[in-house]
Amino acid sequence: MSKVIYSASVSLDGFVALPNDEVGPLFDWYASGDTEYPLPGTNMVFKVSRVCAALFDENWTKIGASVTGRHTFDVAHAWGGNPPGGGNHFVVTHHVPPEWVYEGSPFTFVTDGIANAVGQAKNTAGTDKHIDVVGANIMQQCLKAGLLDEIHIDLIPLLLGEGIRLFDNLASEPAKLETIRVIEDTGVTHLQFRVVKE
């Protein structure tokens, strides 16, 4: 069954990026191992531990579509037209950039909210692939709307002190999480949680 999953590298004090949107040392662990992992849909190759490469392979090969926000799309410069994971990227936005609207474009722009974007992504992915949620703000919207199934955090032993917080702008009621697994690795701890829906 298809799941909506958010994954991110997060500092110990809860930041996913610096104030200027740069990730700084949060992504250093992508080059700290001895096992190459080509990131699907891109020309990037990570060098991570064998444990991490196996985890990546398990997660990245199950992505059927992605949902991202316009801010992340712009900061990433549309990933040069090759978004991570390949497949279709649904971009939640108020204004559609016409230069990315063409036949064969990997991007579909959704102007009527997160629920429609996730719905379209699910229709594209089918029942055996998952939806990858990209960007802290979009994750927050999914969580508040009850659309998020899992949160995967790559916890970095680092205190950034300031920046873009992962868990800002949440609903007033607590979100209950159930631990799926914890994997300790070199320079990172992988934490996976299921969002408890009552």
What CATH number does residue 142 fall under? Answer: 3.40.430.10
* Within-domain flag for 29: no
pLDDT in tens, 113-164: 999 999 999 999 988 899 999 999 999 999 999 999 999 999 999 999 999 9
> Domain of 106?
4-18+63-153
Contact (CB, 8 A) for 76 and 57: no
Torsion of CA 8, 76, 19, 91, to 10 degrees: -70
* Within-domain flag for 23: no
Distances, alpha carbon 75 to alpha carbons 19, 21, 70, 135, 161, in Å: 12, 7, 9, 10, 21
Contact (CB, 8 A) for 49 and 33: yes
* Within-domain flag for 183: no
* Within-domain flag for 8: yes
Q: What is the pTM of this model?
A: 0.93
pLDDT in tens, 38-82: 888 888 899 999 999 999 888 888 999 999 999 999 999 999 888
* Within-domain flag for 42: no
When divided into structural domains, the chain yields a total of 1
